[in-house]
Structure 1
């Protein structure tokens, strides 16, 4: 009988407790590959919890590749889900080508990805907290701050990320940045030089090609499939400065990196003495099941975790963060100081109170419902107008999906024709690819900042343009 202690007094949900304990037993090898798990009915009876609790925990484990189901035989631990543990354990107290939108033509329907619903920004609550911060803060908050950021927001972030993403860190490991772009710039300066190699997903956002290549480093593109980076294709004859991944929602194709590939990635980083840079840019908005756990929680000393509030709240806030291994903290703080001294303190304090008082989680719950409706509307419009000619990919998480068309190639001429003649702005996946020619029939359709009426009109215009 599987032993899983349940604490009903914990703030953590019963689903999360069951999921995390089974996950831990698999990672540590206490549950071996191929071992049969109890049925949901049996386990719910043993634990004295609702069967739905176990069902949802199993569904999350299945989504992340920890378990697999064999109809008629039961549920089993998947192959490759054991991760050898380091002897050093984290001692944290928390162990428990996208272009700017041009305003020249308001009639343009812009399917740019990564833009949240700006009309739903919580202006009233943010304004109230900001007012209190300005009126109640001590005089010292108006002076120069520390490059790593205020202790208030770093403390709150550690608790929030541990609870929601499984990130293990202490406040000392957190550096607050002026958005994710600065985070990547700092990491690049820390780890890359003219002779460096850097392994990145292909395709991935084209801005990062420029940031990583600015040091003169050599880009090693690793192909992506429906499950994310193909980790078995990372070259073994190089020693990269780091490997860049978007494991919880690959940009742009939308795959979720399964556990056996995450473990392969960690083993590669250990063998080649390099770091993994984990970009967790929009995984809060997952529409099926709970958010996928971070790679950082598997090996905090090998993973640099980067996040931002641009996709959750607004790009205008310019607040991001890096979670660093201990060995990189001081160098990163020095680089941050040389770059801009520190991220604006009053905005940091407002954000820390917004999170600490529960408003961020409320906002996310509200927006998940809105984004799900918009996603469903976009899918329905694509099927209605294109039928079997379109295949929809990567729609389980985030603020965009991929539309893959039969017998189409989205050349620059076609994209410009659709923009100029039909007032629709679309973004080919090919634009983000290093190796060209593999994704010519795919486009990225962002829906976060488009109302359902505009989504419908935009797809109708797209169909007219493609004729």
Structure 2
């Protein structure tokens, strides 16, 4: 007789419990091919359950091919249902994975999630779900909802100097998908793309995955050193973050922007502008976009992950007109379209002025966070520290005198309960930024910032 433990307190139905346990015994060979099973009456009596429970379990196993029924003879284990089990590679030991103190993670690009305007968002969502027509629950256009594209075109012109028609916008599932679409749109294995160095490692990976080669151009305190771009290279595009260079924080001056425009015109290539968290500029207004200088040469990429929340997964590309149709087709074959209802809520959120009010509020908050972090760094490290790239965004760069952030030191810092991110992780040509780290502060509490800076100091300078 089969030994099948029944848990009557479980949420799993009894017939499912019987089915799962017989299935498992057959897969691992405890019940072998040709072996006869107890009749439904016998098993129901043994397990003290209804016969219908056993019938439903047997029927499911018969339907999936685990069992075969022989008229007048009974129910047997089918041939070929044994599966050799792989050895378990690891087991999660919760006790080992619990640290004495929680990790303070200085990851960049994470907004203050507890300050997401959830009441306003919920109100608009409620209104939308009550107002919209049933047709809005169907498949939608790959380029995104017209309501959002129209609102976004007006918003970008007003706040970022981006000149475009709603038809030039394709709504994406975040900036990562936007980068992936650009890679598929423009690159083949024989092509070259010019990129700032350093630049986000994820973006390097996306563009390299096409098989294209990456040509790095160094940056300084003013962004990409455009004078170093070779005239004979003929890239498919130049990728840069001109309003807020990631990770070093520079802002590209107009002279270098014009050099880029002229280079692109001479070489018949495009410029890809990633507008990285430039809304949060603490000295003066946000810098105008590169796209506004020549809308047919620049692909402009943005998202709402840092302004609002990464969970929204809404980004966008503003395209030159000759790339619109091809990009729409690529978007369609990637995931049909970005979720429509979230787009409609966001369109109302922008149109009714909530987005700009939220940005104004968050600028004050992030500036306070930034100033507190800088104060903690200078108080703790004194003359040993230099703080860079702090005019915009939700991170800054820390340069420590006579410190090399090796893998050994990074592990030491993590043992002290802090996660930090070296600039070297994002550099293409290695060895230039070994004493610099990126500290994100948007999502941390002030007590976490203060404690994190203290732990970094002790990890770096205390001798064990």
Q: TM-score, normalised by structure 2?
A: 0.78
For 1:294, the equivalent position in structure 2 comes to: 289
CA distance in 2 between counterparts of 1:397 and 1:301 reads 27
> How far did 1:156 drift?
0.2
- 1:199 matched to 2:194: yes
Supply the distance in 2 between the matched residues of 1:431 and 1:333 (Cα, whole angstroms). Answer: 33
Change (3 A) 1:313 1:202: same
Gaps of 5+ in 2: 1-96
Alignment size in residue pairs: 365
Cα shift at 1:245? 0.5
Query: Once the 2 structures are TM-superposed, how far is the Cα of residue 235 of structure 1 from its aligned partner?
Result: 1.7
Deviation at 1:238, TM superposition (A): 1.5
Equivalent positions of 1:47-58 (< 5 A) are none
Q: Hey, what's the Cα distance between the residues in 2 that align with 1:387 and 1:249?
A: 27
**Aligned: 1:281 with 2:276:** yes
Is 1:428 equivalent to 2:422 in the alignment? Answer: yes
Deviation string 1:294-346 (CA, Å, 9 cap, x unpaired) is: 00000000000000000101000000000000010000000000000000000
Q: Distance in 1 between matches of 2:458 and 2:167?
A: 55
Deviations 1:386-429 (CA, angstroms, capped at 9, x unpaired): 11111111100000000011111101111111112x10000000
Match of 2:345? 350
1:294-373 correspondence runs (5 A): 294-373=289-368
Aligned to 2:139: 144
CA distance in structure 2 between the aligned counterparts of 1:235 and 1:408, rounded to whole angstroms: 34
Match of 2:398 in 1: 403
What SS does the aligned partner of 1:163 have?
helix
Deviations for 1:195-214, whole angstroms, at most 9, x for unmatched residues?
00000000000001110000
Q: Equivalents in 1 of 2:427, 2:309: separation in Å?
A: 27
Please name the residue that 1:466 is paired with. 460
Q: Secondary structure at the match of 1:135?
A: helix
Gaps of 5+ in 1: 1-101
Shift of 1:106: 6.9
Q: How does 1:93-172 map to 2 (within 5 A)?
A: 107-172=102-167
Q: Aligned-pair distance for 1:384?
A: 0.3
178, 197, 217: which one aligns with 1:222: 217
2:384 maps to what in 1? 389
Q: Residues 331 and 105 (structure 1 numbering): CA distance in 2 closer, same or farther, change over 3 Å?
A: farther
CA distance in 2, matches of 1:223, 1:104: 39
Other-structure match for 1:447: 441
Distance 2:428 2:156 in 1: 32
SS state at 1:157 partner? helix
| Root mean square deviation of aligned Cα | 1.2
Q: Which runs of 4+ in 1 moved over 2 A?
A: 102-106
Give 1 or 2 for the bigger CA radius of gyration: 2
Cα drift, residue 261 of structure 1: 0.3
Structure 2: distance between partners of 1:368 and 1:103: 35
> Distance in 2 between the 1:162 and 1:204 partners?
26
SS at match of 1:445: strand
330-339 or 448-457, larger mean C-alpha shift: 448-457
Instruction: Quote the offset at 1:107 in angstroms.
Output: 1.0
Deviation of the 1:176 alpha carbon: 0.2
Q: Equivalent of 2:370, from 362, 375, 384?
A: 375
Give 1:253's match in structure 2, choosing from 237, 248, 258: 248
1:5 matched residue in structure 2? none
For residues 404 and 122 of structure 2, what CA distance do their matches in structure 1 show?
A: 46
Provide closer, same or farther for how the CA distance between residues 427 and 392 of structure 1 changes in structure 2, counting only shifts above 3 A.
Answer: same
Secondary structure of 1:297's aligned partner:
helix
Q: CA deviation at 1:268?
A: 0.5
CA distance in 1, matches of 2:98, 2:143: 35
Name the CA shift for 1:433/1:465 in 2 (closer, same or farther; >3 Å): same
Structure 2 distance, partners of 1:235, 1:448, is: 38
Q: Which residue of 1 aligns with 2:30?
A: none
TM-score, structure 1 as length reference:
0.77
Report the 3-state secondary structure (helix = DSSP H, G, I; strand = E; otherwise coil) of the residue aligned with 1:223.
strand
1:231 matched to 2:226? The reply is yes
**Structure 1: how far apart are the matches of 2:131 and 2:98?**
38
- In 1, Cα distance between equivalents of 2:164 and 2:101: 45
Alpha-carbon distance in structure 2 between the residues aligned to 1:296 and 1:207: 23
Measured in 2, the distance between the counterparts of 1:247 and 1:389 equals: 30
User: 251, 258, 262: which is aligned to 2:257?
Assistant: 262
| Equivalent residues of 2:270, 2:299 under 8 A apart | yes
